[in-house]
Amino acid sequence: MSITIAHLSDVHLGPIAGFSPRYWSAKRLLGYLNWLSGRRHAHRRDVLERILADLRAQAPDHVAITGDLVNIGLPQELAAATGWLERLGPAQRVSVVPGNHDIYARAGRDPGTQRWARYMASDAEGRAYAPAGAQFPFVRILGRVALVGVNSAVPTPPLIAWGRVGRDQLERLERMLHRLGRDGLFRLVLIHHPPLPGQAHATRGLRDAAQLEAALARCGAELVIHGHNHLDHWTLRPCAGGRLAVVGAPSASLGRRHKREPLARYNLYRIGAAGPRSVELVGRGLAEPDGPVVELDRRLLRLDAGHERTSCEA
């Protein structure tokens, strides 16, 4: 029996509200000006709603969101995103990891992304694999699939958007992946930043990508999904027990083409449809700004050795 996971990323919900002097900073001011000058016209709520209507029609078993729900990490933005998540679905059907725009700058005593804690927590079965006292990585079990949520988002200086997993979280992740693999579960890792070296510029990339790549190679995983680059991308890498698929999703709210970024889309992962170590990857989204949501591509990723194509980016 296959399990279908829908993957949304980088929705950048607007408008930006609550930009009071209490939360002013150079980084937030630059981010706000960037939003006003272009991004608010590119990331459209009506486009996102069309994507979500199509997603619901596909009836996935679970929805995974790989960060950047908001824009400059203001408390009112984060609170509004909480309401959006609640409308999207119950916490047991939706998993979230934060992005750099969610943990954008320090917000004093505000709870920040802890507002989304229900969507970033291990479930009853997952707690058997997750260490007590640490929020990340969290683990959720869906049949024979384990969703593992990793946090790569940290506050950064102006014009910088890099991420970091950190040594302690990496050590916990290795132990989790080893135990989940030993128990025969399909390991699907959620992270915001691209997880491999060279997938983003140094000012935007994951600072410990080499260490994460090494951990994944040692312990094995089947699928890592991410956002951040706003690009459609997949690659296969060797790891313990076979191959690891790494898939990046573009923004799910982009209503006009921006630089290399494609129009809004999301991914469906049908795990086990063609065997226990297989993923059918279906991309759905806009082919034209005012067009319907359609199937854009479909491919089968086999995670045993011997797959011919090893990467693609669009």
Cβ neighbors of 15 (< 8 A, separation 6 or more) are: 40
- SS3 sequence, 58-90? HCCCEEEEECCCCCCCCHHHHHHHHHHHHHHCC
Summarised one tens digit per residue, pLDDT across range 148-193 is: 999 999 999 999 999 999 999 999 999 999 999 999 999 999 999 9
d(CA 68, CA 191): 11
CATH code: domain of residue 129: 3.60.21.10
Average pLDDT taken over every residue of the chain: 94
State how far the alpha carbon of 270 is from the alpha carbons of 172, 284, 302, in Å.
27, 13, 12
**Identity of residue 132:** A
Judge contact between 149 and 138, C-beta under 8 A.
yes
Assign 252 a pLDDT band (cuts: 50, 70, 90). Answer: very high
With a cut of 70, say whether residue 310 has pLDDT above it: no
Judge contact between 95 and 24, C-beta under 8 A.
no
Domain with 78, as residue range(s), is 3-15+23-313
Summarised one tens digit per residue, pLDDT across range 20-52 is: 888 889 999 999 999 999 899 999 999 999 999
d(CA 98, CA 120): 9
Q: Please compute the mean of the pLDDT values over residues 277-305 and round it to a whole number.
A: 95
Q: Is the pTM of the predicted complex or chain greater than 0.75?
A: yes
Q: How many domains does the chain have?
A: 1
Residue 257's pLDDT is: 85
Residues in a beta bridge with 159: none
With a cut of 60, say whether residue 58 has pLDDT above it: yes
Residue 24's pLDDT is: 85
Summarised one tens digit per residue, pLDDT across range 182-212 is: 999 999 999 999 999 999 999 999 999 999 9
With a cut of 60, say whether residue 306 has pLDDT above it: no
